[in-house]
Structure formats: structure tokens, C-alpha cells
Structure 1
């Protein structure tokens, strides 16, 4: 994969990326009209952005409530011991848990932050008891629950 420092993005690339972030299903013809280009250069730009890893993948975003995944928990995790093996073990096991949508290794009071999405509090309890608590080396988990979602986006400001 081409390293980012070798790829120079121009204004058209940024506009293209913004358009795709807001609607990845836009047709090349629509993108070309928005960018003032023909279809072929748009296609080539998209392929270059995919090849270099700037565009990682395309996904479908779901409405949590409509698929019965209404409870969002933020779990702050502290580990007992901070050896490389313990960190790797926690990370390997955590990223395999489907309810964990995001996992961040942190600097500060906590070691990791997890965003967990489940159906309800019963499902969260099952997740906590059967999936999270079985991971070795966890000292504490502090969970907070979202009361409402004020902003939920995947689009980066470019």
C-alpha cells in the first residue's frame, strides 16, 4: 500500500472524499457533475484513494433503534498489569466481541474505552458477565449509558 506522504491530495480529492463520506452510493456520473469532471477521472481518483488506503471500506450505517440495539454503553477499563503480553491479550479478545463497536487504547486514568451497543440492560448484563469479565487482567470497568444521542457521524472534517 502506498504511504500517505507520497500521495498529494488536491481540492478535488477533498471534495470527492466529502461527497463520498456523506453518500457512498453516489454514482460516478453524479460525482463527476458535482466536481466538474467527466466520469473517467472520477473513477480513477476513487480507485487511487482506495488503493492507497485513504478510502478503507464502504459500509451501511444502521439506525440502532430500528434494529433493536438501543442501549449504548461507554466502558472505561483499567488493567491490573501493563505488560505487553497483557495489553495484546486484552486487545485481541476485545476486538473479537461483536457488541464492541469501538475500542481505544488510552493515555490517562483508564487504559481502554469501549463503545458497546446492545438491545437493553439485560443484554448489557449478559455482555458484561459472559464476555467482558472473562478477559483476564481487568482490574475495573466503569460503565456509563447514553441517555440520548446528540451527534453520531463517521464523516471526518477535511
Structure 2
């Protein structure tokens, strides 16, 4: 963050809240003209501060209302085994996030499915076919208290 000034940080904050905001409207919020704001955004993109722009979707309306966190312990920890596991996990669309973690388990998966029957089907027909899984522990979300995509700075 050493290359970022307050204006850069304000641009990032505004874009996190609404990445669809026009350059003109963003410039007005920052009391600047459009050209320097546009140039700063392009620099932030080039330097990797802005990785991409996305639309946030309503998972319930798209029949993915059940969130499950699944902890996975591998049987073996050889480099190629872990790489194969990651390749298999990335290919499953129900898994929207995967973290390599420390502790009793090796990975934490965030899975979105329609309901319990869908999760059972996912476990039986997809997750269980992945080699080298020693055991799993599933945690079912009863209610979402806080969900944010914004980074604070």
C-alpha cells in the first residue's frame, strides 16, 4: 500500500461499494475531474490492486440457498497428491471457495447447494470420488450474520 495515496484509497473504497459507478459520478464524489480518476483506476488495475469486477448474485434466487463449510483431511501429504486434490476441487462448481488451512484439517471448502438432499448427492457422487480424502467434517450454516466483500483500510 506504500504506493497508494488517500485518493487511491477512496477510489478503491467507492469501487468496492459499487464497481458499476461511472467515472463521472466517481470523480464528482471525490471532487476531481474524470480524466485523473480514469487514469488512477487504470493504474490500480495494472498494478493489481483491482483484480477484476464482478456482479454479486442472490444465491437463494438461484437455488443455492444452503451454505456448507466442509473441512477435509487428506490421507497423504505428498506434493503431487495435494496438487491432484486441488485440481479436482477447483473443477467442482458447488465449491465456491477453498482454503488450505492449519490445524486438524488440511482444507476448508465453502459449498453452495440447494438443500440437504443436494448436499448429500454432492458428497456421495462428487466429493467422495476424489482420491486421498481421509475424512471430512461438515458444518451447516443456519443463518448468515455478516457477509461482505469489502476490504477495510
TM range (shorter): over 0.9
Instruction: Say whether residues 1:25 and 2:20 are aligned partners.
Output: yes
Deviation at 1:135, TM superposition (A): 0.7
What do the CA deviations read for 1:2-57 (whole angstroms, capped 9, x no partner)?
xx7xx701111111101000100111011101112110111111111111111111
TM-score by length of 1: 0.93
**1:4-153 superposed matches below 5 A:** 8-153=3-148
* Cα shift readout 1:88-141 (whole Å, capped 9, x = no counterpart): 011111011101010000111110000000111111111111111111000001
Between stretches 78-87 and 46-55, larger displacement belongs to 46-55
For 2:86 and 2:47, how far apart are their aligned partners in 1? 26
Moved over 2 A (4+): none
Over the aligned positions, Cα root-mean-square deviation in angstroms equals 1.1
In the aligned structure 2, how far is the partner of 1:148 from the partner of 1:84?
Answer: 37
Distance 1:45 1:131 in 2: 44
Question: In 2, Cα distance between the equivalents of 1:25 and 1:35?
Answer: 16
Gaps of 5+ in 1: none
User: What count of residue pairs does the alignment treat as equivalent?
Assistant: 153
Instruction: In structure 2, list runs of 5 or more residues that go unmatched.
Output: none
